Every structure is written in structure tokens, then in C-alpha cells.
Copies of this chain bind each other. A is one copy, B any other.
Amino acid sequence: MKKKISLRVIKRISFYYEALLKLNLSDDLYISSIKLEEITGVSSNQIRQDFFYLGISIGKQKKGYQIKRLFNELKKVLPIDRRVDVIIIGAGRLGCCLSEYKLFEVRHINVVALFDVKEELISKAEERGSHCAPIHHIDKLDGFLSEHPNIKIALLTLPENSAQEMLNKLVKLGIKGIVNFAPKILKIPEYAEDVQIVNDCIGASLYKVIYQIYNKA
């Protein structure tokens, strides 16, 4: 087990990666932390601090970092060009949206299937293009995971009242990582401490903006 890395650092690494992707990877191109700040918005101090923390020390004074090498170093940290198969539990609007999310494609995240309790969503699945991931009934989850033992990650796009229950079930079925999009902090049962969870409610951040604007004066 390597060093633990916080969510914040992971996010920034993915931003660095995204930025480098758009640059030329020819051998003699360098980028300084200041230039990388301009592209990613992360301060140059923060960038160098991150690299230091991650053990990336390939910079040259007066030049910066060779783009190609930096790119490779970041890939060592984040397995970002490795294809990762995931499933989505909850085939509502958000679930379907995420199943076709562009950024997921770029990052090689592959949504294999969605699951839901609602029959109407499953029958509606045919309307979706053939390029889309299929929607199955939640009862088929158990069998599906047995047939696809490589799937270790599930995204939860369920209402908050059923989210924790589903998480417990997923853990029992052997899922090792979960991203929860409900406005509630889900916890991993004690008997499964190796399972990873991140709670990431979309739109909660909008309230920060609303608060600042409508609470003035």
C-alpha cells in the first residue's frame, strides 16, 4: 500500500494530467510550474508542493519540467490510462447522464451497466442508443457481478433514504469502491474497512454561491 493521498491532491493531479494531455508531448518541450498555474489555476507553489509530496523531482532550473516525463510520472501516480469498469446504481437522470459523461470517456472510465428498481426505466432502456450501457433490474445485480468479477467500483445515484442500504449490499457483493451522489454522508460498515467511499453531492457547492450572494448586507 502506497502513501495515502487526499481527495484534493487527487483532483489536482487529474487537472495537471488534463492540462498536459492538450500539450505537445515532443521530447524537448518543457513547462514551468508558473505556466502550469496559468493553465490549471493551481498556484505554482501548490504544484511544486504536490510534486514534492508525490516524489516527483524531475524539474530543471530555468526550464521547468519535461512535459513527456511529467506526464509519465503523473500516470505512475494515477492509473489514468488504464481502463476502469464501473456500474451505476440508479438509472434516473443523473445516472444516465453519468453513463455517457464525456470526461469519463477521456479518462477511460467505462460504465458497463446501470441498475434500477423501476421497471419503466428498464423498458425505456431500448430507446437509448446501442452505444449506451444497458439498464438492468436491480435483482440481476448479484448475478451480474459474479459474471464480471473485474468490476470493483459502483456509482450511487439513488435518493438518500435508500443509499446506505444499497451501499451495505454492494459491500457484501464484493464492491471495493463507491462514489455516492446523494446529499448524505454514507459510511462503510466496520467489517469492511478496506472499501473506499467518497461522498460527492452534485449541486451542494451551488449553495456556497447562493449563500454568498443572497446573504449580503
Contacts and interface: CB of A to CB of B under 8 A. Distances in A.
Copies, count: 2
A136 interface: no
Interface stretch (A27-35, A55-63, A94-102, A120-128): A94-102
Contacts of A10: 204-205, 207-208, 211
Nearest to A214: B79
Interface string A116-140: 0000000000000000000000000
Contacts of A100: 93
B41 A186 contact: yes
Contacts of A7: 205, 208
Nearest to A183: B18
A155 interface: yes
Contacts of A42: 185
Given A14-B201, A41-B186, 16 more contacts: A1-B215, A1-B216, A11-B201, A11-B204, A11-B207, A14-B183, A22-B161, A42-B185, A97-B97, A98-B203, A103-B202, A109-B203, A179-B205, A196-B213, A198-B205, A198-B208
